[in-house]
Amino acid sequence: MQLLRTYILPRIVQWAVVIFVGVTIIFLIPRFSPINPVDDMIGRMTAFQTMDPQAVVLMRATMQDLYGLDGSLLEQYINFWQRLLQGDLGPSFQNFPTPVNEIIAAGLPWTVGLLTTSTIMSWLLGIFVGSLVGYFQHRRWAQVLERVVIVIYPTPYVIIALILMVLFTFYWPIFPMVGGAQGKPALNWEYISSILRFGFLPALSIVIGGFAFRFIIAKALATTEIASDYVQYAELAAVPKRRIVYSYIIRNTMLPHVNDLALSLGAMFEGALITEVVFGYPGLGSKLFTAISNADYNIVMGIVLLSIVGIATGSLIVDLLYPVFDPRVRLR
């Protein structure tokens, strides 16, 4: 009971406050934008045709109510929360009258599949290889690998994606250039294999960037652990080096890595914007880019809202799991 009152409940309250503040900011930003989406849409509709002024006035009133822009700012805010609690994100401006829920639902499986696999792979590789290089830092292979990663790490993300595209779609046309799959969705090997072929290069670009980042973190943490007394004693006691790496270094540096994994998985709901745009991948990132370009605020708010909830929930899960990974929290 004391654990619930002193540890769990404060973190749940903090999670709720973060989401509340995030939703409020999402609500306010588009309304302070100089672009009025209703005026913009009516302007596009009347650009090439003449409409009755009374019909335009009625259309404006209907669209303002439809998009939750009718009334004072407080009334809009209350209406926004009422719709949000019902799971209604409103219609898309650009793809009217398609609901935002349908557009997000269409891109969500692609983004979740791509980012879940690539994030976990880069996380595992970064921890394992970075810890090995940190422990065997005086070996020749470790020094060469570290120099390669140092060159990759500051390289802009879009450059990595473009290099992979040029190499494996132009010079060696092994993989397709754009798209997510080929053929009609079905549970057969032909369709599943097309998903793997179309998703390989986007996933590889994410893995390379994520691996370099986590490699540097894992190496720095491993270098600190090597100087600790228990590692020095284990080496003097002739403990096998493999056991030292796994049981002493990787295990004792897992807390920041677990936190990083949870936040990275929570952030997947915003999509891999650059990767998806470069490879034409049909995930949330490409939809977010299109929505920003067309001032489609409802889609932008929906995707950003998913990202806020995902990151806050990931952080909450890590906080609640800390007693499992860290015995010092359990003792307190």
Span 114-138, pLDDT tens digits: 888 888 899 999 999 998 888 888 8
CA angle 48, 50, 52 (to 5 degrees): 150
Asked whether residue 331 carries a pLDDT value surpassing 60, the answer given is no
89, 181 contact by CB (below 8 A): no
Average pLDDT of every residue of the chain: 79
Asked whether residue 25 carries a pLDDT value surpassing 60, the answer given is yes
pLDDT band at 327 (very low <50, low <70, confident <90, very high): low
Asked whether residue 182 carries a pLDDT value surpassing 80, the answer given is no
* pLDDT for the residue numbered 281: 83
Whether the predicted model's global pTM rises above the 0.85 cut: no
312 exposure class (CB count in 10 Å sphere: 0-12, 13-18, 19+) = buried
- HEC letters along 220-286: HHHHHHHCCHHHHHHHHCCCCHHHHHHHHHHHHHHHHHHHHHHHHHHHHHHCCHHHHHHCCCCCHHH
* pLDDT for the residue numbered 189: 76
Q: Among residues 261, 307, 259, 260, which one has the least CA distance to residue 283?
A: 307
* pLDDT for the residue numbered 181: 74
pLDDT band at 198 (very low <50, low <70, confident <90, very high): confident
Q: Pick from 27-36, 55-64, 268-277, 284-293 the range whose average pLDDT is largest.
A: 284-293
191, 180 contact by CB (below 8 A): no
Asked whether residue 34 carries a pLDDT value surpassing 80, the answer given is no
* pLDDT for the residue numbered 269: 64
* pLDDT for the residue numbered 56: 65
Asked whether residue 2 carries a pLDDT value surpassing 80, the answer given is no
Asked whether residue 157 carries a pLDDT value surpassing 80, the answer given is no
Q: Give 46 or 170, the one with higher predicted confidence.
A: 170
Kindly state the tokens that stand for 312.
């806050």
CB within 8 Å of 311: residues ≥ 6 apart: 263, 266, 267
Domains of the chain, earliest start first = 107-294 (1.10.3720.10)
CA distance 287 to 107: 7
